[in-house]
Amino acid sequence: MMNNEKYERAIKKFKKNNIRITPQRQIILDYMINSDQHPTVENIYHALNKKFSNLSMATIYNNLNLLKDLDIIIEIPNPEGGYRYDFFETPHIHAICDNCGKIIDVDFPQYQEFDEEIKNAVRKYNFSPKTSHIEINGICENCQKKRPQ
Amino acid sequence: MMNNEKYERAIKKFKKNNIRITPQRQIILDYMINSDQHPTVENIYHALNKKFSNLSMATIYNNLNLLKDLDIIIEIPNPEGGYRYDFFETPHIHAICDNCGKIIDVDFPQYQEFDEEIKNAVRKYNFSPKTSHIEINGICENCQKKRPQ
DNA sequence: ATACTTGCAAAGTTTTTGCATTACA
DNA sequence: TGTAATGCAAAAACTTTGCAAGTAT
């Protein structure tokens, strides 16, 4: 199991919140940590069901919602319907292609600085901020080539 | 009909793209321009169906997708299921309450500056940017009072 | 006149729920 | 052991589609 530090930090959050550590949870968490593909529920199901039959869609839905509530993953609208999910310990920008739906993780060193300003802005509305998320839509490299303009 | 300038700019986009101006489109566009409630499809249907019977869900879905493609509105995931929509001519931050789902439009004078930096960051990936969108999750004022902590 | 748009209802997807069973702590 | 989590299948919710009729240009 790779990325032990990320994994351990997440498990610590489970324990802190009295959430049981089941094999299903572990395998879903592990998959999310090690995927950079922004998988859908369907993707996760097919990937994990191979090795771990007896894993139901319902459990994946439950656990993705759980991980979302614990701020371990975030949810991104999928242009093709439903959502895609991303392990989000290190904040980054998501560039989403309007044409093919591809999501690119964009490195953004200024994120922390931005995050501070965003949080200050919402505090003026007496809103207590947690996770910020920046998305930008447009056209990816491949799709620009395919249909120029 | 209020907000004629916003309305006219949108209509101009329709004409530019050879999209017909139907009464349904006009009334949906007008509703989006004048709503600050981030309505769901359901909300729009109920609001408009009163005065304009013979307006179908399908038409609302079609036209919201159209307005989204034209970058007139944006789609925001709704914690309670489905999406909520927002007229998005003047960019702003969305603060989304994890508890009650309320969405607050947060004024953010630095937006333009941020937008520039975000766009520059994604261009390094040969991504051609269009609309950026900043969301922040957390707990709204009311919900903080209800369940302190 | 022509082709785009609409309304309707049906089909297709996606997500949640209820409940009996299992298994973590 | 007690209670939370799971799997399954059914139900609910959400979104798209096909087609005949209507209408903007």
B49-60: pLDDT as tens digits: 988 988 999 999
CATH classification of the domain holding B16: 1.10.10.10
Residues A100 and A131 in one domain: yes
Residues A97 and A109 in one domain: yes
Antiparallel, parallel or unpaired: β B128-139 and B93-97:
parallel
Pick the range with the lowest mean pLDDT from A61-75, A134-148, B21-35, B132-146. Answer: A134-148
Residues B95 and B55 in one domain: no
Please say whether the beta carbons of B96 and B137 come within 8 A: yes
Residues B102 and B134 in one domain: yes
- State the nearest residue by CA to the C1' of D16: B58
Question: Residue B60: which region, alpha, beta or left (left: phi > 0; alpha: psi -120 to 50)?
Answer: alpha
When scoring B102, B103, B118 by the number of chain A Cβ atoms within 10 A, the one with the most, hence best to mutate, is B118
User: pLDDT class for A146, splitting at 50, 70, 90?
Assistant: confident
Q: How far apart are CA B1 and CA A17, in angstroms?
A: 52
In the prediction, which pLDDT does A149 show? 38
Flag if A133 and B138 touch (Cβ within 8 Å).
Answer: no
Residues B3 and B60 in one domain: yes
Minimal CA–CA distance to B108: which of A134, A118, A43, A109? A118
Rounded alpha-carbon distances, angstroms, from residue B13 to A3, A37, A66, A148, B34: 48, 34, 42, 20, 18
Structural domains counted in chain A: 2
Q: How far apart are CA B76 and CA B64, in angstroms?
A: 12
Residues B111 and B54 in one domain: no
Provide the residue range defining the domain that includes B99: 90-149
Residues B82 and B118 in one domain: no
Residues A126 and A100 in one domain: yes
Q: How far apart are CA A72 and CA A32, in angstroms?
A: 9
Q: How far apart are CA B149 and CA B146, in angstroms?
A: 9
Flag if A134 and B128 touch (Cβ within 8 Å).
Answer: no
Minimal CA–CA distance to B65: which of B16, B30, B25, B31? B25
The mean pLDDT of chain A is 93
Flag if A95 and B137 touch (Cβ within 8 Å).
Answer: no
In the 8-state DSSP scheme, what is residue B108?
A: -
Strand partners, B77: B83
Pick the range with the lowest mean pLDDT from A2-6, B65-69, B84-88, B125-129. Answer: A2-6
Q: Give the Cβ contact number of residue A21 at 10 Å.
A: 11
Three-class SS of residue A135? strand
Residues B74 and B105 in one domain: no
Residues A80 and A110 in one domain: no
Of A53, A68, A89, the residue at which a domain comes to its end is A89
Cα B129 to its chain centre, rounded Å, is 18
**Reported pTM:** 0.92
Residues A118 and A81 in one domain: no
CATH classification of the domain holding B120: 3.30.1490.190
Residues B74 and B134 in one domain: no
